[in-house]
Amino acid sequence: MRFVGICQYDGSNYSGFQSQKNASSIQDQIELAISSIGRLDGRINYAGRTDAGVHASGQIFDFSSKDDRETSQWLKGLNSLLPNDISVSSIQKVPDEFHSRFDAINRTYSYVIYTGKTQPIFLRDYVYWEKNEIDIKIMKAEAAHLIGTHNFNSFRGSKCTAKNPVRTIHSIDIQIKDHFIIISMCANAYLYNMVRIIIGTLLDISKGFGKDMKTILSAQDRKIAGKTAQAQGLFFTGADYKKIDLSLNNNSTNPLSIFINPRQ
């Protein structure tokens, strides 16, 4: 039987979602918990590979087990065994051929920026503190140039192994409330570090540094784009599928609502 789950996690103490040698990962923790409850057939699949320090409010994963357990048993068991910085909000049965990575039609990330004058001590692991003044109008105008299908070579990290740099960004939504700015991005897929490089570039441009986004896109050169934004402000917020309805049993609250009410 195949099951799909939605989980939230604080990535501060992990090397990222994907399992790595000699490092603690979200994947390892979930697989250990599943194996402690029943039989795990192979490794789990997942919608997005988040890096060290990156968080998730809606990471999707799926696994196969020969144990015929109720979804409620899996859910209660996993949450009783997982560390307190990882939580599974829903489990449901899916067709055996479902794959949370390959079946995803788009993925969404949100990046939280804090613009207050003093350091946000209690939020320092969850926001990026920008000390300089930002021109939001410029940021929104430049972000609009990224919408659509483009070659994103200028926004791929040096460790990126993807053969095809073409991706489609469906939307970039920038919301502001008090001292918080949330940039939410939805795309069919991403290159390595693509979101963080785009965020860093938007920040640079909105502060009057660097080249404009059209020039950066057409250059197809990472050196032309801005810095890679820090990891702690980034959240993987979910993925969409045609084959399944993930809203059936998901009762999780969105942690980003402590900053602002993201558009649904």
Residues 28, 51, 62, 103: which is the catalytic one? Answer: 51
State how far the alpha carbon of 120 is from the alpha carbons of 81, 163, 206, in Å: 32, 40, 22
Q: Kind of pairing, strands 104-114 and 86-94?
A: unpaired
- Residue 51 known to be catalytic: yes
Alpha-carbon dihedral 108, 196, 11, 56, rounded to 10 degrees: -10
State how far the alpha carbon of 7 is from the alpha carbons of 46, 88, 168, 209, in Å: 10, 4, 25, 38
Residue type, 245: D
For residue 8, with 0-12 CB atoms within 10 Å meaning exposed, 13-18 middle and 19 or more buried, which class applies? buried
State how far the alpha carbon of 31 is from the alpha carbons of 5, 92, 95, 165, in Å: 12, 17, 20, 31
User: Would you name the residues annotated as active-site residues?
Assistant: 51
